[in-house]
Amino acid sequence: MAEVEDNYASALETSRQTLKAIRNTESSVHPTRENKIKITDKIAHLKHKDPASPQIMTLEQELVRAEAENLVAEAQLTNITRQKLKEAYQQQINAVLERSAKQEILARHARRLLELLDDTPVVPGAEKAGYEHERAAKDILLDAEEDLAKWQPDEDAQISSSQLESNLLPPVNSSPGGQQSLGRSNSIGEEQPLGRGTQIGGVENGTSDAHSVTGSADERGRKLETQGGAYAYDPKVLETTS
């Protein structure tokens, strides 16, 4: 029984360690949020102080890239949170099921051991009969060990493998149904990754056209103008957690 409890405690610790990956990913996403806020504050300050400053154009272009980087980082955080949360609780549930199954095995054999105990009342002065079931008790212990060794988790206990790539994003060409990949499709439906020189909403990616860097934050965030393509962002912290 004690060994079963030790194994259960170890499994719970493994589940807790899995959840820590979410915290580590969160800390790696924080700098992208701070950078976006910092650039936004600079733009607001300049527009108030010197609306005609040429630096506003440069900062708005930087904001587009910062929002695109943050968009990918937030997607990574969402993916790792869903995956690790499911994985951690699956580990915990599997540990509970294993513990309960093995406790049932041990309890069933323990009841057999109790049946071997002689609780017949004795009269005062009478000598208590010696224990005569030593061999039977040993066989019960062997049966318990054998049943524990034979126990196997069911197929539902298998933890599904990750569908994320090393950058914590799903493969571009195998996105789930109903979800669009971070890219654009041509006239025949082929997937083309976003990169420099790609036309986005009538504006070439990487140009300095003023209209391309103005507008709402949502519009800028959808442009994904990262230097290395749509999946360029990959925080260094994630290398130790993924």
pLDDT at 141 over 90: yes
Contact 33, 85 (CB under 8 A): no
Domain chopping of the chain, boundaries: 1-96+224-242
pLDDT at 168 over 80: no
82 or 195, higher pLDDT: 82
Give the per-residue pLDDT at 181: 43
Contact 147, 105 (CB under 8 A): yes
128 or 112, higher pLDDT: 112
SS3 123: coil
CA distances from 36 to 29, 42, 56 (A): 11, 10, 15
pTM, two decimals, is: 0.56
Give the per-residue pLDDT at 40: 92
* Burial of 185 per CB tally in 10 Å (0-12, 13-18, 19+): exposed
Give the per-residue pLDDT at 164: 63
Give the per-residue pLDDT at 50: 87
At residue 238 the predicted structure's pLDDT band, cuts being 50, 70 and 90, is: very low
- pLDDT above 90 covers a percentage of the chain that reads 32
Per-residue pLDDT tens over the stretch 58-77: 999 999 999 999 998 898 88
Q: Which fold would CATH assign to domain 1-96+224-242?
A: Substrate Binding Domain Of Dnak; Chain:A; Domain 2 (1.20.1270)
2-34 as b/e: b if 16+ CB within 10 A: eebeeebeebbeebeebbebbebbeebbeebee
At residue 113 the predicted structure's pLDDT band, cuts being 50, 70 and 90, is: very high
208 CB-side CA count, 13 A: 6
> Region 145-164: what's the mean pLDDT?
79
Contacts of residue 91, Cβ cutoff 8 Å, sequence gap at least 6: 11, 14, 15, 18, 159
